[in-house]
Structure formats: C-alpha cells, structure tokens
Amino acid sequence: MSKPALAPETTATAEADDATPRLGAGAAIDAVVEHIKLQIKRGRLSAGQRLVEAEAVQATGVSRAHVRDAFKRLAAEGFLQIEEFKGASVKRLTRKDVTEMYQLREVLEGFAVRLAAQAEWSAAQRAELKRLQAEMDRAERELQHEQFRKLNDDYHLFIRRVAGNDLLHENLERLRLPLLLNQFHRFFDRQELVAANADHRLITHALLERDAKTAERVITRHVRNSLKIIQALEPHFFA
C-alpha cells in the first residue's frame, strides 16, 4: 500500500527550509537581525509593537527556529522584549533607560566629533559635509521635519565615518536604534528643529576649521538639549 501524500508546504515555509541550509545558522540569524533593524531605521516598527514569527520567515526566507534565535539576540541587545506565551515585541523604554542612553551618547558623540575634527579630510569629505549642511538648512527653511530627521541621521553618521573608529560607530548605532523605535524625534517642534540646526552649523564650521574643542562642546550641548526635550514628555510616553 502506498503511503499517503504529505500535505504541501506553504511557499514561505518551503522557501525558508530551502534557504536556511544554504545560509547556515549564523548567516540566517544575521539576516533576520538586519531585517528588523532596517525596519526600525525606516520607521516601520514602533515601541510596544508585536513581532510575528511567520512574517519574519516570509520576509527573510529562514526557518522559524532561526527567527526565534534572532529575536533572542535582539532582546539581548535591548531592541525587543520576549514574554512567555506572548512572544516578542518592540521594547518600550523607561525614562531611566532614555536618560542613561543620552548620557552615554553625550560622551560618545563628543569623542566622535573630536576624532573627526582631528582627522585628515579629503576635498570630497569637505564637500559632502557642506552638502549635508546645505540640505539641512533647506529642510529647516521649508519645515520638512521628516526630511530634516533623515538628514540629521546622515549628518551624524557621516561624522562617525570620518572619525574612523568602527567600535565607536557600532556602540552609537546600538544606542540610536532603540530611541528611533520609541519615535521620540516626533516630539521636536519647529523651534527645536531650528535650534538643532543652529548647533549643526556651529559643528560644521568647527569641523571645517579643525576646531575639535568647539565641535565637542557644541555637540555635547546638542545631545543634552535633546534629552531635556524628551525628559519633559508626559509619563505615558515611557514604559
């Protein structure tokens, strides 16, 4: 007697089972981690949002086991929280979490801009810094808040790249993503945008003049002022 045929797998599951061996466990987990982080950067995930394993399987083509391992890694890095019988969700930050993150950012951003000011700049790098500043000035004039936020991220990332310290960059990125998840940037109004860009202009000038002391002083104040804005939010914005 012939054996009964097995029920056909769904396309997503079949692709996941095929893809995982080709990727290998480490690469499969990395693929999910990078996918989730990309969703954070694009503003597609927010604090408290639940993550569905099946959606991650379909998006990345890896097995559920590797998705679970990726969620555990993201939880260890502070991006997710995992609750028994409820699964994984985007971690909501406490007021204390945010304060500590910004205190650390203040030190690391100051160090990054000091390294950048002391670096040897190419003509192309100087031109790129001026371009970013001009684009931020335009976004400020036209009150394009989302565009300004994106340019702000590009600006700080550019400074880190010029600084040339990979470990410093990794740690700043690890601090930045949870803050993006909680979408605190949405509470910055026009006055705060103008003040932030005024700081950017001072930092840009200091970098072009290789004035490390001024650049570090201004960016330290810049980060501290951002924390003050967030600290003034109502309690329901925090875990």
Q: Which numeric CATH code is attached to 95-237?
A: 1.20.120.530
Compute CA distances 5 → 2, 9, 108, 230, whole Å: 9, 12, 60, 59
Task: Identify which of 25, 106, 33, 31 has the alpha carbon closest to the alpha carbon of residue 76.
Answer: 33
Where does CATH 1.20.120.530 sit in the chain?
Answer: 95-237
Q: What is the pLDDT of residues 198-228, one digit of tens each?
A: 999 999 999 999 999 999 999 999 999 999 9
d(CA 3, CA 177): 52
Where does CATH 1.10.10.10 sit in the chain?
Answer: 11-90
Q: Which numeric CATH code is attached to 11-90?
A: 1.10.10.10
d(CA 222, CA 238): 22
Tell me the three state secondary structure of residue 174. Answer: helix
d(CA 96, CA 231): 9
User: Got the DSSP string for 188-227?
Assistant: --HHHHHHHHHHHHHHHHHHHTT-HHHHHHHHHHHHHHHH
pLDDT of residue 63: 95
Q: Exposed e or buried b for every residue in 199-235, given b needs 16+ CB within 10 A?
A: bbebbbebbeeebbebbbbbbbebbeebbebbeeeee
Q: What is the pLDDT of residues 5-53, one digit of tens each?
A: 433 334 444 444 444 445 688 999 999 999 998 888 787 888 889 999 9
